[in-house]
């Protein structure tokens, strides 16, 4: 074990940090973990969220593309975001009524600004790679706590795609002995985890389904002229009607016909994609309401299509459990239920978990396994050649 516990057999208290592809803010989950690996148990002690201000979100979005980014901007934001993460840790601990001394470890996902799971075929120097920023040394020095982070490169170093990681935590938190379950996280990108009844690690099927909130958010931001960053509760989409012809065109994207393991991000479904969708929608004369409804239907259709192609032929599923920001979009949930008449669609809140906290909880589990020296990737999900210990450590 890399860091000794206070007393042998005592649980580890970890602050898990998550800032996802939605670029909407920092989620911090304070988690008490007993044990390690796939037999660990986790208790959410406190959940804290800190939203990004619009200008900061815009600056992050620029870093996630090539047009407005630069080495200098990435370098500076790496350190600056470390301070933001560290402040969120301190605020979360105070908000929980706890002390720094009550916490053993911080585990940070960082902020993904580029993810390249497959090398560019025409560039001999291109290598599968990924980049998450938010310097863990800054977090450690600011909080006075050891920090684990930069998980994804280790999986890629053993042949994996460095994503998705949620399936590892899904297996620990949600597997059921009698019922097959599908965990669908809807953040910026959608990712699913299929857990057969009584699943073991080699039986898990997991992959990115495509866009989650990413296209919806970009469309809402553009149509509202920057006043809104997301469609709260799916209210705007509920007022419109999806355009089936445009939806069929969107669903023809090659990503959806690529079999797992696979992962994606802003590189495929970011701002340029949303802009092309808006252009096509405007050319068809769609109202704003119909445009948002079509973008929302795109997420629902891409999820359901992924299940029909790759999950249902292999795994018997009884429940679809939605987490992440999309779990609050009632229109999206309704559309998904309509496309999945044979399954019960629910949110993790119905099972006693905070819908927004799951990914931060999972990164707390990953950090806990790192300090125990336990392999914390899931090759069945990422395509890695073998299990490996992911993460790097920064000391205070």
Per DSSP, the residues of 42-97 read EEEEEEEEEEPPHHHHHHHHHHTSSSS--HHHHHHHHHHHHHHHHHHHHHHHHHTT
- Taking every pair of C-alpha atoms in the chain, what is the biggest distance, in angstroms? 66
Contacts of 391 (CB under 8 A, 6+ apart): 107, 148, 149, 150, 151, 154, 366, 367, 370, 376
Cα 144 to its chain centre, rounded Å, is: 27
Domain 166-351 CATH assignment equals 3.40.50.720: no
| Side-chain half-sphere exposure of 128, counting CA atoms within 13 A | 20
d(CA 247, CA 179): 33
d(CA 48, CA 26): 8
Q: Which residues define the annotated binding site for ATP?
A: 20-27
Q: Where are the domains of the chain?
A: 12-163+356-394, 166-351
Contacts of 189 (CB under 8 A, 6+ apart): 20, 21, 208, 210, 211, 212, 214, 264, 265, 269
| Residue position matching structure tokens 């706890």 | 98
pLDDT at 22: 79
Cα 260 to its chain centre, rounded Å, is: 17
DSSP character for 386?
S
Sign of CA dihedral 242, 246, 251, 255: negative
Looking at domain 12-163+356-394, its CATH superfamily turns out to be ATPase, nucleotide binding domain (3.30.420.40)
Q: Which residues define the annotated binding site?
A: 20-27
Q: What parts of the chain have a pLDDT lower than 70?
A: 1, 4-8
pLDDT at 1: 67
Task: Give strand pairing partners of 194.
Answer: 182, 205
Contacts of 79 (CB under 8 A, 6+ apart): 135, 138
- Same fold flag, 12-163+356-394 and 166-351: yes
pLDDT at 24: 87
SS3 letters for 264-285? CCHHHHCHHHHHHHHHHHHHCC
Contact 229, 57 (CB under 8 A): yes
pLDDT at 261: 87
DSSP character for 311?
I
Contacts of 357 (CB under 8 A, 6+ apart): 27, 29, 44, 47
pTM, full prediction: 0.86
Q: pLDDT tens-digit profile of 104-120?
A: 999 999 999 999 988 99
Contact 153, 132 (CB under 8 A): no
DSSP character for 349?
G
d(CA 171, CA 362): 10
Does residue 164 have a cis peptide bond before it, meaning omega lies within 30 degrees of 0? yes
Contact 29, 47 (CB under 8 A): yes
d(CA 313, CA 310): 6
d(CA 320, CA 95): 32
């Amino acid at each position: 074990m890399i860091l000794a516990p206070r007393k042998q057999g005592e649980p580890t208290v970890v602050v898990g940090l998550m800032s996802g592809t939605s670029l909407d803010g920092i989620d911090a989950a304070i988690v008490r973990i007993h044990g390690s690996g796939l037999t660990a148990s986790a208790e959410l002690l406190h959940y804290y969220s800190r939203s990004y201000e619009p200008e900061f979100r815009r600056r992050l979005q620029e870093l996630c593309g090539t047009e407005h980014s630069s080495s200098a901007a990435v370098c500076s934001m790496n350190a600056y975001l470390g301070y933001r993460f560290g402040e969120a840790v301190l605020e979360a601990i105070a908000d929980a009524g706890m002390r720094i001394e009550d916490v053993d470890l911080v585990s940070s996902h960082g902020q993904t600004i580029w993810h390249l799971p497959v090398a560019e075929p025409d560039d001999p120097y291109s290598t599968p790679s990924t980049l998450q920023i938010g310097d863990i040394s800054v977090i450690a020095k600011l909080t006075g706590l050891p920090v684990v982070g930069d998980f994804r490169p280790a999986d890629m170093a053993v042949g994996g795609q460095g994503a998705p990681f949620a399936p590892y935590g899904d297996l620990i938190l949600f597997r059921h002995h009698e019922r097959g379950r599908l965990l669908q996280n809807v953040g910026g990108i959608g990712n699913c985890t299929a857990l057969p009844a009584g699943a073991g690690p080699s039986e898990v099927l997991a992959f990115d389904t495509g866009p989650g909130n990413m296209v919806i958010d970009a469309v809402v931001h553009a149509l509202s002229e920057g006043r809104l960053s997301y469609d709260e509760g799916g209210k705007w989409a509920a007022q419109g009607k999806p355009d089936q012809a445009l939806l069929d065109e969107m669903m023809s994207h090659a990503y959806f016909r690529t079999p797992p393991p696979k992962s994606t991000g802003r590189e495929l479904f970011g701002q340029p994609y949303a802009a092309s969708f808006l252009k096509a929608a405007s050319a068809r004369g769609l109202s704003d309401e119909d445009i948002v409804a079509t973008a929302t239907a795109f997420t629902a259709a891409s999820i359901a299509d992924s299940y029909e192609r790759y999950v249902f032929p292999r795994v018997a599923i009884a429940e679809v459990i939605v987490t992440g920001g999309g779990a609050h979009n009632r229109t999206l949930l309704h559309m998904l239920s309509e496309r999945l008449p044979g399954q019960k669609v629910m949110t993790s809140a119905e099972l006693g978990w905070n819908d927004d906290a799951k990914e931060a909880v999972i990164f707390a589990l990953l950090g806990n396994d790192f300090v125990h020296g336990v392999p914390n990737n899931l090759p069945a999900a990422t395509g890695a050649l073998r299990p490996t210990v992911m993460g790097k450590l920064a000391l205070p």
